[in-house]
Amino acid sequence: MNKNRRLFCIILMLTIVAALTLAVVYRSNVVKSDVLKWSFIYKDRKINTNFKSGKYLTIFTATDIHHLSKSLRDEGQGFKSFMGLGDGKQTDYTEEIMDAFVNDINKKKPDILIISGDLTNNGEKKSHLELAEKLNRVEESGTLVYVIPGNHDISNPWARSFQGNEQYKAETINYKEFSKIYNKFGYGESISRDKSTLSYLTAPSENLWLLMIDTNQYKNNEKNGSPQTDGRISNETLQWIKKCSELAKKNNAEIVTVMHHNLLKHSDLINKNYTINNSEEAIKVFEEYGLNLVFSGHIHIQDINYHKVDNNSHQEYNKNYIYEIVTSALSVYPQQYGVIKYSSGNGYDYSTAKVDVEAWAKETGNNHKNLNDFSEFSRKSFENNGYFKAYDVLYNNNKYSEEEKKLMCELVGELNLSYFSGTQDQVSQEYKNTKAYKLWEDSQIDFFKRYIKSITKIKDINNNKIFISKTF
């Protein structure tokens, strides 16, 4: 009897020790990475976060991947004609660019990857499914992934496949399918979801939350026969944003906002359909609730802008500016993404990095000549795109000699390279002193004249590197 009693006591003690050990953390088994999870209670349910408050985080942000599955195209004239009408995206290399990006992520091992919309070329279901597989590889390497849609991604009547000389309608997806396909990448672990859009709030860290806002308007796409390009934040969504902000404040968490369209203006010329339609209304809400850091895409350029906060608009948040960082499209030269080093005690250190396609090609044994020198190939391709767009306008203009036309087109191509990579401030004065600039300045071609003037306007901020203090 005594022997049985001693055995029982030993088993009981081991059970208690095991229970106490498990109680040290809220969860020891992870779903998405190899880190421990912590939690808080929201509406009587436990919300798990992957990182404890105070952890130094590395976040990658990318946008406008515009992935087109190779299964939807061949090298026929139909696809070539489509590419000829494009805006400089490397649509025929999106798979390689994305695979190289995944390779970079696996090497550098950021904590979080954020993708702010236009995941696919034109919302093709096959492109979505293929991209989701690639993002799953990212998560398997230990990086958390969070996505939102862009204006190209949902109910897009322009979804196409290409075979021979022809284009064919391809299957697209609706908003319910989007959240299902990308359930593992934000939607499945959201704290709160907006009832009227695909916006959601998520908490990767105890003290750093992501407010992922769906600014797209896709409900009438099928009826209109084309995707609606412009964006807005509806009144219902703005009210939901206020509730999310209040919840974060109660839990002593900071919010980083992510959206596809732009909150602020990032060009003196190109704003319509890029900056959300109700930006003034949204800015007031952002001011009032201390939402002072936004990441977006859509316009494809690399640009940072800020808005001076009206200090009379809010009393609870000691913030002076709203910063918006637009990372250039991953599908466009120079194929770069944002890198954020976050410290809860200091703030956000943002810089950019380029996808190393050449290294990926070498490591995988891909000997395609364009991939082995992809940076130069992409640069020349994008420069030529700008050159020929300008030449189309100048072709029948008898005011200029062929030599002058050549100089003017070369300027547009070169300026586009610096504009989309966010380095125009480094060359603006140099280009203003050229003959080509003066020819455009004196021309009657209104759009290109204003476009070049807007590009070469000197800014007071570096588009590729900024430190945003926690007290901003």
User: Is residue 19 predicted with pLDDT exceeding 80?
Assistant: no
pLDDT at 49: 75
Check: CB of residue 257 under 8 Å from CB of residue 186.
no
Band (pLDDT 50/70/90 cuts) for residue 472 is: low
Query: Which of 340, 268, 320, 321 lies closest to 299 in space, CA to CA?
Result: 268
Band (pLDDT 50/70/90 cuts) for residue 32 is: very low
pLDDT at 312: 62
pLDDT at 232: 98
pLDDT at 45: 55
User: Is residue 270 predicted with pLDDT exceeding 70?
Assistant: yes
User: Is residue 459 predicted with pLDDT exceeding 90?
Assistant: no
pLDDT at 438: 97
pLDDT at 55: 84
Is the Cα dihedral 315, 318, 320, 325 positive or negative? negative
| Helices vs strands, H then E, count in the chain | 15, 17
pLDDT at 41: 52
Express each pLDDT in 220-262 by its tens digit.
999 999 999 999 999 999 999 999 999 999 999 999 999 999 9
User: Is residue 357 predicted with pLDDT exceeding 80?
Assistant: yes
User: Is residue 205 predicted with pLDDT exceeding 60?
Assistant: yes
pLDDT at 426: 87
**Close Cβ partners of 327 (under 8 Å, ≥ 6 residues apart):** 61, 62, 63, 116, 295, 297, 302, 336, 337, 338, 352
pLDDT at 456: 92
pLDDT at 44: 53
pLDDT at 257: 99
Check: CB of residue 235 under 8 Å from CB of residue 243.
no
CA atoms of 459 and 303, how far apart (whole Å): 10
User: Is residue 427 predicted with pLDDT exceeding 50?
Assistant: yes
DSSP H/E element including 349: strand 347-354
Band (pLDDT 50/70/90 cuts) for residue 47 is: low
If you average pLDDT over residues 49-74, what whole number do you get? 93
Q: Which two tokens stand for residue 426?
A: 């480094």
CA atoms of 177 and 194, how far apart (whole Å): 16
pLDDT at 15: 44
Q: Which two tokens stand for residue 359?
A: 């290294």
Mean pLDDT of the chain: 90
Q: What is the pTM of this model?
A: 0.89
Express each pLDDT in 335-350 by its tens digit.
999 999 999 889 999 9
CA atoms of 162 and 92, how far apart (whole Å): 12
pLDDT at 9: 47
Express each pLDDT in 69-108 by its tens digit.
999 999 999 999 999 988 999 999 999 999 999 999 999 9
pLDDT at 52: 78
Express each pLDDT in 114-138 by its tens digit.
999 999 999 999 999 999 999 999 9
CA atoms of 346 and 369, how far apart (whole Å): 45
Express each pLDDT in 133-169 by its tens digit.
999 999 999 999 999 999 999 999 999 999 999 999 9
**Top-confidence residue, 460 or 114:** 114
